[in-house]
């Protein structure tokens, strides 16, 4: 089953978040190199130019350096109006200490963006968001945006995409509906969405004294918190909380427990936009078949961090398989599944890292040794820094979890931990 055999293959992409737009952009790039002229439809009901949760794909919006590199390879340079803040350091708030970590490698740029056009109670004009930018780029390069929700996807020898207004049969279907809405596939496709957990998010105005280029991460308090992150986005701050297991932590509880009320000038009326989105914590099952494949969160994404980067790379791999090896279930099984499995396996290493992290937070002696190692590494060259790189990689999504775990077991890391350099 090869798209090359069809003169103008019709491709339906359901979902115009990053996964969907990246799929279109990769498709258009590779198809051009192969002399294929596809007709690409992206179904996306959200108007990303409107502020507020209805037009936003709820996310903290940190872009990893691996995503930034990928965008460059697609010929996309994010315009300054999209970038809200360049992020150069992280501050880890442990019970009695704040540890600051500067970007270990300045060439590995990370930044924050809005996904929609800014918070619901925006002060001023709508902002430019990532998802709207990517969708526009895909359309400028030849895709067509259909601004309707897909109600059903059925099968009649080919996938049939139905909105309330129209019906399209397509030669190839790409499912990019993420994990925050129901995937409208008929049971015939055998798709089972990923496991998810709920997060809490809020947006507030950034007090003038709050650093504009530093991400702050909080642990331990309130009980049940896995981590809380405060991310600067120009004039605003995004607060994102992840609870342990199924624990839900509210923003108010968090502000109170971390004693942030005065520093953030936080009151009942500070909240400009809040939501409780789902984040994927496992892979989907049955995420490809003849003439269809899922990408982004709808397939698999990196645990907790860099989901947008995963959307970029799963979309790229799926399109490479489709255009190089065909759109049969066999082709995806042979070449796409191993790629997704690789992400899933790496997430296991991530889970171990986060479990070890939580264990360490409960053990004062170990925590002390580790904070001393971190402080000592700050004086060292980037080459001999191990713990700084691990923390940066864990919380930015910048390096595979497996590499970070192995780095933690490296003699240099163990030396830095047990015999910190003076």
Ligand X SMILES: Cc1cc2nc3c(=O)[nH]c(=O)nc-3n(C[C@H](O)[C@H](O)[C@H](O)COP(=O)(O)OP(=O)(O)OC[C@H]3O[C@@H](n4cnc5c(N)ncnc54)[C@H](O)[C@@H]3O)c2cc1C
Binding-site ranges for ligand X (CB under 6 A): 14-20, 43-46, 57-62, 149-150, 176-178, 180-181, 184, 199, 201, 240, 277, 279, 296-298, 301, 306-309, 311
Nearer to ligand X (CB atom), residue 254 or residue 370: 254
Tell me the closest approach of the beta carbon of residue 230 to ligand X, in angstroms: 12
Nearer to ligand X (CB atom), residue 290 or residue 398: 398
Beta partners for 59?
A: none
Nearer to ligand X (CB atom), residue 31 or residue 42: 42
Nearer to ligand X (CB atom), residue 326 or residue 397: 397
Q: Do residues 194 and 231 touch, judged by C-beta distance below 8 A? A: no
Nearer to ligand X (CB atom), residue 66 or residue 389: 66
Nearer to ligand X (CB atom), residue 77 or residue 151: 151
Nearer to ligand X (CB atom), residue 116 or residue 408: 116
Tell me the closest approach of the beta carbon of residue 353 to ligand X, in angstroms: 17
Tell me the closest approach of the beta carbon of residue 45 to ligand X, in angstroms: 6
Tell me the closest approach of the beta carbon of residue 181 to ligand X, in angstroms: 4
Tell me the closest approach of the beta carbon of residue 120 to ligand X, in angstroms: 16
Tell me the closest approach of the beta carbon of residue 57 to ligand X, in angstroms: 4
Output b/e per residue, 99-135; b: 16+ Cβ within 10 A: bebebbeeebbbbbbbbbbbbbebeeebbbbbbbbbb
Tell me the closest approach of the beta carbon of residue 365 to ligand X, in angstroms: 33
SS3 assignment for the chain: CCHHHCCCCEEEEECCCHHHHHHHHHHHHHHHHHCCCCEEEEECCCCCCCCCHHHCCCCCCEECHHHHHHHHHCCCCCCCCCEEEEECEEEEECCCCEEEEECCCCCCCEEEECCCCCCCCCCCCCCCCHHHHHHHHHHHCCCEEECCCEEEEEECCCEEEEECCCEEECCEEEECCCCCCCCCECHHHCCECCCEEEEEEEEEECCCCCCCCEEEEECCCCCCEEEEEEEEECCEEEEEEEECCCCCCCHHHHHHHCCCCCCCCCCHHHCCEEECCEEECCCCECCEECCEEECHHHCCCCCCCCHHHHHHHHHHHHHHHHHHCCCCHHHHHHHHHHHHHHHHHHHHHHHHHHHHHHHHHCCHHHHHHHHHHHHHHCCCCHHHCCHHHHHHHHHHCCCCHHHHHHHHHCHHHHHHHHCCCC
Tell me the closest approach of the beta carbon of residue 384 to ligand X, in angstroms: 29
Tell me the closest approach of the beta carbon of residue 60 to ligand X, in angstroms: 3
Nearer to ligand X (CB atom), residue 122 or residue 174: 174
Nearer to ligand X (CB atom), residue 238 or residue 416: 238
Q: Closest-CB residue for ligand X? A: 307
């Amino acid at each position: 089953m090869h798209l090359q055999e069809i003169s103008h293959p019709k491709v339906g992409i359901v979902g115009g978040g990053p996964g969907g737009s990246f799929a279109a952009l990769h498709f258009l790039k590779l198809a051009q190199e192969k002399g294929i002229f596809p007709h690409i439809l992206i179904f996306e009901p959200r108007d990303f130019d409107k502020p507020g949760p209805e037009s936003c794909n709820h996310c903290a919006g940190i872009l990893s350096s691996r995503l930034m590199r990928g965008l460059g390879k697609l010929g996309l340079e994010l315009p300054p109006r999209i970038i809200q803040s360049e992020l150069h350091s992280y501050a880890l708030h442990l019970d009695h200490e704040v540890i600051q970590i500067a970007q270990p490698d300045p060439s590995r740029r990370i930044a924050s963006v809005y996904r929609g056009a800014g918070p619901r109670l925006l002060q001023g004009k709508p902002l430019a968001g990532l998802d709207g930018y990517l969708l526009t780029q895909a359309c400028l390069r030849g895709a067509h945006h259909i601004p309707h929700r897909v109600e059903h996807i059925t099968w009649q020898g080919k996938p049939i995409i139905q909105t309330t207004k129209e019906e399209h049969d397509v030669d190839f279907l790409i499912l990019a509906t993420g994990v925050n809405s129901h995937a409208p596939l008929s049971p015939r496709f055998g798709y089972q969405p990923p496991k998810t957990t709920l997060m809490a998010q809020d947006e507030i105005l950034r007090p003038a004294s709050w650093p504009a280029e530093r991400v702050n991460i909080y642990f331990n308090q309130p009980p049940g918190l896995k981590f809380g992150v405060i991310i600067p986005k120009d004039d605003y701050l995004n607060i994102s909380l992840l609870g342990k297991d199924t624990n839900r932590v509210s923003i108010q509880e968090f502000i109170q427990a971390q004693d942030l009320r005065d520093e953030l000038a936080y009151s009942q009326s500070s909240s400009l936009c809040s939501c409780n989105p789902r984040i994927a914590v496992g892979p989907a099952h049955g995420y490809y078949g003849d003439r269809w494949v899922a990408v982004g969160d709808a397939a698999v994404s990196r645990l907790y961090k860099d989901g947008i980067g995963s959307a970029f790379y799963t979309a790229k791999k799926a399109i490479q398989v489709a255009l190089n090896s065909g759109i049969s279930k066999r082709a995806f099984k042979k070449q796409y599944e191993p790629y997704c499995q690789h992400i899933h396996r790496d997430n296991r290493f991530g889970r171990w890292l986060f479990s070890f992290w939580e264990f360490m937070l409960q053990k004062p002696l170990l925590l002390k040794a580790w904070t001393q190692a971190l402080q000592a590494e700050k004086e060292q060259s980037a080459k001999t820094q191990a713990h700084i790189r691990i923390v940066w990689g864990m919380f930015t999504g910048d390096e595979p979890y497996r590499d970070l775990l192995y780095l933690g077991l490296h003699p240099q890391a163990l030396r830095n931990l047990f015999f910190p350099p003076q």
